[in-house]
Amino acid sequence: MELEKKLAEYVSEAKFEDLPKEPIDTMKNVILTILGTTIAGATAEGCEAVVNQVKNWGGKQEATILIHGGKVPAHNAALANSVMARAVDFCDGMTPGIHLGSSSVPTALAMAELTGGCNGKEFLTALVIGNEVASRLNLSASAYNGFDPTGVCTIFATAAIAGKILQLNSKQMLDALALAFNRSGGSFQSNVDGSLAVRLIQGFVSQSGITCAQLAQRGITGPKNFLEGVYGYFHLYAKDDYNAQTVLAQLGKRFKMRNVLFKRFPSCGGTLASTDAILELMEKNKFVPEDIAQIVIRVVPATHNLTGHQFKIGENPKVDAQFNIQYCVANALLRKVPELKHFDESYIRDPKILELIKKIQVVPDAGLMERGHRTADMRVTTEDGRVCHTIVDIPRGAPENPLTKEEHNERFQSCLRYGGKPLSDENIGKIVSMVNQLEAVKDVRTLISLLLS
């Protein structure tokens, strides 16, 4: 249990002064991103139903349901807030599909209220450390093999964050992480089938992370060898293909959470390279939708399994569109730069989109793995016989191809424009200012009070 012990000690003992500037700045971008997507997702499909159910459960008034208002037990507030944060799928992500911020930020906010407040440095420390632990335990697409990385791995972040704000000692933190291991799970079938469970998994992770930390604080123990044990995390999810030294390498000095992707477009990360590709070809070759005879897109098998299936409109059209390359490419071709509203049902059912989709084919190609797991190889054939080709290996917003500060701000503003329960301009200005100077904030609960419509 040496690996588990060292991780727990790191989480419980790390201080703000130990953190470099880079992960702090990254986390501020994550926080602003999640506050924006929560505003945008507050009235998205299923979110108000979750909010109403959480209120109906009742219980001790510990933490605030953002945007809608009302207080409920902290773990249930985090559930509702995380579902809203993930709903428009414009949050941060990390290969191969793990979403950290949509759970970690709501968890930290709920815990700040539960514990009677914490300052900005404590808040940032918990978030950076918790996300770093999950980033180091994140596996490859082949290891997950259809398990949802958010459900499987993000729970280590939420348990660590909750435990850090609760000020658990290293033994209690070990138990919190071990209990979290027993709650990890979730499947990408939710995404493929276009179900609202995609965003519920995000909420379950937050809810369970807080519960695990609270139980550990009460002395409930978990398996000490939850990572390296015979039936531990690395056996069950990584098929014993792991390197403990990689997990611990330069812990506290080199931060893997630098690999966060900030989406340029409001759809699954698996669609972003293909969207970039069609926009690039349109710009270079000046074709329009009416010119298209056929589009063939090649992606790695894991991306194809998640987002390359034939587009169909099911019970939740927004989810169907968010997780489908055909729709995202047709949308960009018809409407240029994708916007949040383009994933509303009225836009999805546009006959022009549905006709374009018939001309788009997505093909799995294992050979592309040599170029990278995010690669999209696109070939467009026009009615007059022109063939236009490009390959996008790294989509905009990936850490190797980062967004500018202005693009981050535009993403945030687009969420504000879309949200069905808008906040006042005065509150928005204060939120942005507070996030930018979060280490100087005396009590982050003042941020929560600004997030009520």
pLDDT tens digits, one per residue of 243-256: 888 999 999 999 99
**Nearest Cα to 142, choosing from 268, 226, 249, 241?**
241
Q: Is the dihedral of CA 306, 311, 316, 321 positive or negative?
A: positive
User: Which amino acid is located at 305 in the chain?
Assistant: N
HSE-CB at 273 with a 13 A cutoff on CA atoms is 26
pLDDT for 273 equals 98
SS3 for 208? Answer: helix
Are 87 and 200 within 8 A, CB to CB?
Answer: no
CA distance 300 to 92: 21
Residue 1 pLDDT > 80: no
Cis ω for the linkage preceding 96 (within 30 of 0): yes
Cβ atoms of 265 and 271 closer than 8 Å: yes
Query: What tokens appear for 337 in the block?
Result: 């730069």
Q: In 3D, which of 315, 368, 366, 324 has the Cα closest to residue 342?
A: 324
By the 8 A CB rule, do 123 and 115 touch? Answer: no
Of the candidates 101, 72, 83, the one whose C-alpha atom is nearest the C-alpha of residue 44 is 83
Residue ranges per domain, the chain?
A: 2-264+403-449, 269-392
* Residue 245 confidence (pLDDT): 87
**Cα torsion through 338, 343, 348, 353, rounded to 10:** 10
Q: Output the pLDDT for position 111.
A: 98
Strands 261-262 and 92-93: antiparallel
Report in angstroms the alpha-carbon separations of 398 from 95, 160, 265, 385: 10, 25, 12, 34
CATH number of 2-264+403-449: 1.10.4100.10
3-class DSSP assignment, residue 447: helix
Q: Within its chain, how far is the Cα of 19 from the centroid?
A: 22
Give the DSSP H/E element, type plus range, for residue 344: none
Instruction: Label residue 212 by pLDDT band (50, 70, 90).
Output: very high
pLDDT band at 284 (very low <50, low <70, confident <90, very high): very high
Cα 408 off chain centre by: 16
For the segment 231-242, what is each residue's pLDDT rounded down to a tens digit?
999 999 999 998
pTM for this one? 0.96
Strands of 181-328, DSSP E: 261-262, 292-299
pLDDT, average across residues 416-432:
95
- Give the per-residue pLDDT at 114: 98
pLDDT over 90 (residue 348): yes
- Token pair in block for residue 13: 């003992």
pLDDT value of position 244: 86
pLDDT tens track for 58-76: 999 999 999 999 999 999 9
Residues in a beta bridge with 261: 93
The structure tokens 């729709």 sit at 327
Tokens of 176: 């919190």
Q: What is the pLDDT of residues 78-91, one digit of tens each?
A: 999 999 999 999 99
Say how far residue 436 (Cα) sits from the centre of its chain. 21
The topology under which CATH files domain 269-392 is 60s Ribosomal Protein L30; Chain: A; (3.30.1330)
Q: pLDDT averaged over the chain?
A: 97
For 51, the 3-state DSSP assignment is helix
Helix ranges restricted to H, 376-444: 405-418, 425-436
List pLDDT tens digits, range 91-130.
999 999 999 999 999 999 999 999 999 999 999 999 999 9
- In this predicted structure, the answer to whether residue 25 has a pLDDT above a threshold of 90 is yes
Residue 230: predicted pLDDT: 97
pLDDT band at 282 (very low <50, low <70, confident <90, very high): very high
Q: For residue 453, what pLDDT band results from cuts at 50, 70 and 90?
A: confident
* 300, amino acid identity: V
Is 103:82 a contact under the CB 8 Å cutoff? Answer: yes
Tell me the pLDDT band of 178, cut-offs 50, 70 and 90: very high
3-state helix vs strand vs coil in the chain, percent to 5: 60, 10, 35
* Average pLDDT value for residue range 134-149: 96
